[in-house]
């Protein structure tokens, strides 16, 4: 396998949220804790000279403006990602598919007044939590309110019998998760405390995706916990000053887009997506609806550690990441399901490429489009090589907001199907630390953003995740079977990576009672699943000093 070029290596580092830059003839690296292991450190040392040369030459051609606090004299533009979500809400006001509900089990008493104080201080600290959105003369802006309050709602379920309490909690969590936001009215975050017993609570918050990404949820929870603990001690929380606010990033991104440096990348996407079929026609239970609703469901996917290791071996042989390898496998599965050889899969990519963005709440996500080519009777290795090449190109051209690609290519937006892709893939590696040692409950909002999404997470015991699917199109039985087909396909790939993908055999999984029961269990009472493991794992008290 051909070695990555220096540019490709830099793009791959930045995709992993590792920032490399050259300053005063020295190489500087900023990375999340644990992101640079011993193997990567050796590779960085080996490539140091090439990295310095490439980065210095790039900087000499067009230095990138620094990301620093900006004034608030003018209007604050929406970022590209925010514009996409604003338009979705504009055409479907109050759409709840982009709510992000999170709930944590807390062992111990929780003081409502202290929690309220912590929530208030979070809104003071992060401008994005006081931000609303509006349109003026066809342009899209965001406005930061000088202040905005949110009441921490409280529900006491401690008087109910355990069975009734679990059912009521499940119902209330789902109701809270499905409450729409008005993007014109801040704050776009809500907090709720559920008391189950004096010694057991659930802290729930719901935030709109237009102001938050996945890392934002961790920041919100960790700082809320620190502020709560300080409020309980009647002290000032020891939180570092934020280097910038999200509005500063939005203005920097707008300038970055306006100065013309994106044109070469836009040209790449025009070329890459030229001639793309209008959509991927997956076999569904029902015709595509005249009006697609946001409702959806999930079906679990479990890949054991031995199968994970077998796929990792293929990835290493081909110089690919696990993301690329599983993306290639998902592409083969979609090919098997649809018979189509040319289609795209979307995948979110982080835009937290500056150390200044690591500590702030906001939407730092861009959607990348991976065009998949399965023509010409390729083997899985061939497909993986094509996906690897496409992914590296996409990383090098990942600065263009997805919304700008839509504007440049002008797909038919009258279609109910999302532009360029209808299937999405996400993959994460669990760092083993979790969030403050707390047990995160599954809120199951019952929504789907795309027709079909495969979301996977790698951990010590293998890989697990789920298919999220639109219930307008698919049934639980079919998704349970699709989950089984994915695992069966991975086993075939691991055994025969050089066999033509058209000849890989995927035995149909059972549609009997066992499959039905598994699907129903996964979509049933999340609280019972969470509490089952509560006593088996460590408990972390929210009020711990």
Mean pLDDT of 350-357: 89
- Rounded to an integer, what distance in angstroms lies between the CA atom of residue 437 and that of residue 448? 28
Lowest average pLDDT, out of 69-73, 188-192, 207-211, 361-365, goes to: 69-73
| pLDDT at res. 40 | 79
Lowest average pLDDT, out of 67-71, 134-138, 484-488, goes to: 67-71
| pLDDT at res. 535 | 30
For residues 409, 289, 340, 384, the Cα torsion angle rounded to the nearest 10 degrees is 70
Q: What is the pLDDT of residues 211-251, one digit of tens each?
A: 999 999 999 999 999 999 999 999 999 999 999 999 999 99
CATH label, 296-352+362-431+443-509, candidates 2.40.160.20, 2.50.20.10, 3.40.190.10, 3.30.559.30: 3.30.559.30
- Rounded to an integer, what distance in angstroms lies between the CA atom of residue 223 and that of residue 214? 15
Q: How many CB atoms lie within 10 A of CB 125?
A: 17
Tell me the domain boundaries of the chain: 6-61, 76-247, 296-352+362-431+443-509
Query: In the numeric block, which tokens belong to residue 383?
Result: 């497909």
pLDDT band at 511 (very low <50, low <70, confident <90, very high): very low
Instruction: Name the more confident of 115 and 256.
Output: 115
Q: Is the pTM of the predicted complex or chain greater than 0.85?
A: no
Instruction: Name the more confident of 467 and 56.
Output: 467
- Of 196, 181, 192, 199, the closest CA to residue 443 belongs to 192
CB 453 within 8 A of CB 424: yes
Mean pLDDT of 98-103: 95
Percent of the chain with pLDDT over 90: 63
> What letters, b where the CB count within 10 A reaches 16 and e where it falls short, cover 277-294?
eebbebebeeebeeebeb
Residue 402: pLDDT above 90? yes
Q: How many CB atoms lie within 10 A of CB 500?
A: 13
Query: In the numeric block, which tokens belong to residue 501?
Result: 């993908």
Q: Does CATH place domain 76-247 in 3.20.20.60? A: no
Q: What is the pLDDT of residues 427-460, one digit of tens each?
A: 988 654 444 445 667 677 789 999 999 999 998 8
Q: Do 76-247 and 296-352+362-431+443-509 share a fold?
A: yes
| pLDDT at res. 519 | 41
Lowest average pLDDT, out of 109-113, 189-193, 212-216, 287-291, goes to: 287-291
Alpha-carbon dihedral sign for residues 533, 538, 539, 543: negative
Q: Strand ranges (DSSP E) for 159-235?
A: 189-197, 200-208
- The SS3 assignment for 250 reads helix
Q: Which CATH class is domain 6-61?
A: mainly alpha
DSSP state of 500: B
Mean pLDDT of the chain: 86
Q: What is the pLDDT of residues 128-173, one digit of tens each?
A: 999 999 999 989 999 999 988 899 999 999 999 998 999 999 999 9
pLDDT band at 15 (very low <50, low <70, confident <90, very high): low
| pLDDT at res. 299 | 95
Mean pLDDT of 314-335: 96
pLDDT band at 518 (very low <50, low <70, confident <90, very high): very low
| pLDDT at res. 12 | 75
- Rounded to an integer, what distance in angstroms lies between the CA atom of residue 479 and that of residue 457? 19
- Of 16, 187, 210, the closest CA to residue 96 belongs to 210
Mean pLDDT of 109-113: 96
Which residues lie closer than 8 Å to 94 by C-beta, 6 or more apart? 180, 181, 182
Residue 267: pLDDT above 50? yes
Q: What is the pLDDT of residues 39-60, one digit of tens each?
A: 777 788 788 777 776 776 654 4
The dihedrals phi and psi of 454, each to the nearest 5 degrees, come to: -110, 115
| pLDDT at res. 2 | 56
Q: What is the pLDDT of residues 183-212, one digit of tens each?
A: 999 999 999 999 999 999 999 999 999 999
């Amino acid at each position: 396998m051909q070695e990555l070029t220096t540019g490709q290596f830099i793009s791959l580092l930045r995709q992993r949220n590792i920032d490399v830059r050259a300053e005063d003839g020295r190489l500087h690296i900023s990375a999340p804790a644990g992101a640079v292991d011993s193997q990567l450190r050796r590779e960085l040392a080996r490539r140091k000279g090439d990295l310095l040369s490439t980065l210095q030459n790039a900087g000499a051609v067009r230095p990138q403006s620094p990301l620093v606090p900006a004034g608030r004299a003018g209007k604050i533009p929406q970022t590209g990602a925010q514009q996409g979500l604003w338009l979705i809400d504009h055409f479907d006001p109050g759409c709840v598919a982009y709510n992000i509900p999170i709930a944590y089990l807390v062992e111990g008493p929780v003081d409502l007044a202290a929690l309220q104080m912590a929530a208030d201080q979070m809104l003071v600290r992060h401008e994005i939590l006081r931000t609303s959105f509006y349109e003026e003369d066809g342009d899209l802006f965001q406005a930061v309110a000088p202040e905005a309050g949110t009441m921490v709602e409280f529900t006491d379920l401690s008087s109910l019998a355990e069975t009734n309490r679990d059912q009521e909690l499940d119902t209330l969590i789902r109701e809270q998760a499905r409450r729409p936001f008005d993007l014109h009215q801040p704050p776009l975050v809500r907090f709720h405390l559920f008391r189950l017993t004096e010694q057991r609570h659930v802290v729930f918050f719901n935030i709109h995706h237009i102001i938050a990404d996945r890392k934002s949820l961790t920041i919100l929870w960790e700082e809320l916990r620190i502020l709560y603990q300080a409020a309980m001690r009647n002290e000032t929380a020891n939180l570092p000053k934020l280097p910038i606010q999200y509005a500063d990033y939005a203005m920097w991104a707008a300038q970055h887009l306006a100065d013309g440096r994106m044109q070469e990348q836009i040209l790449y996407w025009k070329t890459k997506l030229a001639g793309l079929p209008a959509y991927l026609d997956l076999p569904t239970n029902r015709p595509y609806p005249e009006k697609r609703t946001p409702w959806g469901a999930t079906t679990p996917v479990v890949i054991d550690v031995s199968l994970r290791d077998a796929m990792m071996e293929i990835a290493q042989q081909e110089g690919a990441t696990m993301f690329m390898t599983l993306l290639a496998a998902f592409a083969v599965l979609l090919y098997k399901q649809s018979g189509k050889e040319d289609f795209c899969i979307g995948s979110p990519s982080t835009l937290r490429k500056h150390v200044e963005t690591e500590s702030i709440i906001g939407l730092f996500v861009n959607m990348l489009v991976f065009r998949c080519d399965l023509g010409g009777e390729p083997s899985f290795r061939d497909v993986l090589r094509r996906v690897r090449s496409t992914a590296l190109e996409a990383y090098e051209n990942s600065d263009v907001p997805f919304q700008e690609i839509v504007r440049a290519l002008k797909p038919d937006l009258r279609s109910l199907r999302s532009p360029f892709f209808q299937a999405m893939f996400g993959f994460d590696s669990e760092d083993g630390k979790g969030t403050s040692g707390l047990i995160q409950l599954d809120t199951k909002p019952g929504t789907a953003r795309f027709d079909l999404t495969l979301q996977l997470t790698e951990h010590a015991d293998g890989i697990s995740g789920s298919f999220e699917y639109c219930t307008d199109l698919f049934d639980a039985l079919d998704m349970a079977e699709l989950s089984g087909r994915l695992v069966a396909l991975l086993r075939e790939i691991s055994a025969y990576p050089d066999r033509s993908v058209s000849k890989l055999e995927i035995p149909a999984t059972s549609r009997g009672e066992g499959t039905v029961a598994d699907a129903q269990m996964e979509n049933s009472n999340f609280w019972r699943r969470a509490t089952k493991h509560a006593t088996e794992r460590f408990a972390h008290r929210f009020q711990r000093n």
